[in-house]
Structure 1
Amino acid sequence: MLKLFRKPRPNYDALSKLRPPSLEGMDEILGINMRNALIAKYNPRHAIERARDKVAAKVALEAAGIACTGTVAVIDDHQKLGAFKPSRDMPDAWAIKPARGSQGDGILLAVRREGNTWYKGSGAPLTEEAVMHHIQKVVDGGFSGDSAAEDAALIEPLIIADPALSRIVPEGLPDLRVISLHHNPLMAMVRLPTLESDGKANLHQRAIGAGIDMETGRITRAVVKGTPITHHPDTGVNLIGFEIPGWERVLELAAKCGPAVGLGYCGADIVLDVNDGPLVIEVNAHPGIEIQNICQAGLKVRIAATGEDFR
């Protein structure tokens, strides 16, 4: 049986022996109904709501000693909005995120500043008025994706990617998704921005999804919208065999995220900062199952290896 995530880390050799040689054995695949059953079993409603709110999740993660991205400000009402002045209160490079946003909606990034004007990665200018307008739209719930009347704007310092990863992509910030059950990391991929994805690490916008070997931290397979590739289409860098920096630390962080937020089954999103190494940016209470197609491996058998009974 797979060992629970304690040092030493999970016995991935034992896990791999449980894995069928191909995906033709559909019992290996975790379907959407079974995923939903796991969520219903292990993810209580209050924990799901906490995970959906980036601010609340960050508070819980930091209370558990988990390294997260920094915080410049949280603007969650119009009084704070009125007292906020970007030219005074914001750094030269930053990210604005809706606390309850999803799929990258409402995220605004600035990579540099000249006077009271910031610039996107594309070179487009952002005036102080434009920044305030965006923050107000976030606070008014324009990107919340649900019935919430208001939201909070989470402003963070811009993460600068680890050089080993930044040389792979033309622009943007790669991130890692690690699926875990309790303290057990089960499957992982790295999402790599492309020019076609506008520098965003969103698979539905044609970023690259690359499966990672859990034992070595090396990329084993990469796809764009279901099409296998071996090299990044923009930089030409070979992806297969690339080793994720700080892989042991990534697994340690991922193993702690669910319990910290109160989730039993979750996806941890982690970035690799040039100075601080792996940092958690988000915890997802409803991680998708597409990662199995990217990795060409099934989650069900890995979950069963932890002792979970699917009967």
Structure 2
Amino acid sequence: MNMRNLGYVYPHNARSDFPIANDKLLCKEKLAPLGVPLAKTHYSYRYFYELYNLERDLSRLDEFVIKPSNGSAGNGILVIVGREEGTWLGINGRQYDISALQRHISDIIFGVYSFDNQDAAIIEERVVQHPKINQMFDRGLADVRLIMFQHQPVQAMSRVPTVASDGKANLHQGAVGLGIDLKTGCSSDAMLKGTAISHHPDSGAPLLGIEIPFWDEIIYHATRTAEAVPLKYLGIDIAIGEQGPVLLEINARPGLEIQNVNRQAMRPLLEAIR
């Protein structure tokens, strides 16, 4: 971790540029004019008084995602998949009335999910996952994480949610990591909590030899994103929607678990680019 920070993060990423990765709204403002595919932002709330219009705003939406602009590790994200008689249904099977949603958004603004710093809540469109990815596990949103250095892809993995991860694509919370071959876009390895597996622990679906849809487009948009931001060492997270890739966020200090998932040390790959 120290080698990553001292050798790559801090020499190539100025701290003054970290906000482009930390703030999802700022990132969207930067990338949207470039045609990078992003989930549509329906509403955003930075101040408590703006929640006066929340019920009116949400009455127009059946499906949406609530997330903190400065959150991390999937914390604070709430996925709504439908409505039933005045309440909204979460992907976790729970029902939420307007008061519950208002409390959740208030927590986001207050900074509960961003280290007690005041934050903004984003209401954005729900990405409908590609059927091929749903075959592995359909209760949550998988993503592809790419490590980029000097605008070039270094390593890639897909993070597939599980019941244990509560539908979140977070390895530390129990998601499955798939090592992805950069050239072919096919999964070569699958790891769960440091243990090699071949099938999803909940669905039983095979995980090896899976061809990630839209792989060439994923690489293209990841490269364009890396070229557009001042960070030279970063992680890029992309979901795979029905119609194509959707960029979720970028990370100035991506974790190193990706090299374990791929069973390949990252340093020689980085040095080859340097």
Aligned AA for 1:248? D
Contact 1:86 1:131 in 2 (8 A): no
Secondary structure of 1:134 counterpart: helix
Task: Answer yes or no: is 1:197 the counterpart of 2:165.
Answer: yes
Residue 282 of structure 1 corresponds to 249
- How far apart are residue 89 of structure 1 and its match? 4.9
Distance in 2 (CA, whole Å) between partners of 1:64 and 1:142 is: 32
Structure 1: give runs of 5+ residues left out of the alignment.
Answer: 1-30
Question: How has the CA–CA distance of structure 1 residues 234 and 132 changed in structure 2, closer, same or farther, with 3 Å as cutoff?
Answer: same
Task: Answer yes or no: is 1:186 the counterpart of 2:154.
Answer: yes
- How far apart are residue 82 of structure 1 and its match? 2.3
- How far apart are residue 88 of structure 1 and its match? 4.5
Of residues 52, 55, 59, the one that matches 1:82 is 52
Distance in 2 (CA, whole Å) between partners of 1:62 and 1:170 is: 28
Distance in 1 (CA, whole Å) between partners of 2:69 and 2:128 is: 21
Task: Answer yes or no: is 1:119 the counterpart of 2:89.
Answer: yes
Q: TM-score, normalised by structure 1?
A: 0.84
Structure 2: give runs of 5+ residues left out of the alignment.
Answer: none
- Return structure 1 stretches of 4+ with deviation > 3 angstroms: 86-90
Aligned AA for 1:190? S
Q: TM-score, normalised by structure 2?
A: 0.95
Residue 194 of structure 2 corresponds to 226
- Aligned pairs (5 A) from 1:1-311: 32-85=2-55, 88-145=58-115, 147-148=116-117, 150-275=118-243, 277-306=244-273, 308=274
Q: Kindly name which structure, 1 or 2, has the bigger radius of gyration based on alpha carbons.
A: 1
- How far apart are residue 127 of structure 1 and its match? 0.2
Contact 1:72 1:90 in 2 (8 A): no
Question: How has the CA–CA distance of structure 1 residues 111 and 169 changed in structure 2, closer, same or farther, with 3 Å as cutoff?
Answer: same
- How far apart are residue 167 of structure 1 and its match? 1.1
More relative contact order, 1 or 2 (CA 8 Å, 6+ apart) = 1
* Root-mean-square deviation over aligned CA pairs: 1.5
Among all aligned residue pairs of Structure 1 and Structure 2, give the percentage whose two residues are the same amino acid.
Answer: 37
- How far apart are residue 84 of structure 1 and its match? 2.7
Residue 12 of structure 1 corresponds to none
Distance in 2 (CA, whole Å) between partners of 1:124 and 1:253 is: 35
Distance in 2 (CA, whole Å) between partners of 1:165 and 1:85 is: 33
Aligned AA for 1:159? V
Paired residues in the alignment total: 274
- Report Cα offsets for 1:174-215 as digits up to 9, x if no partner: 111000012201100000011122221111111101100011
Distance in 2 (CA, whole Å) between partners of 1:88 and 1:220 is: 42
Question: How has the CA–CA distance of structure 1 residues 90 and 185 changed in structure 2, closer, same or farther, with 3 Å as cutoff?
Answer: farther
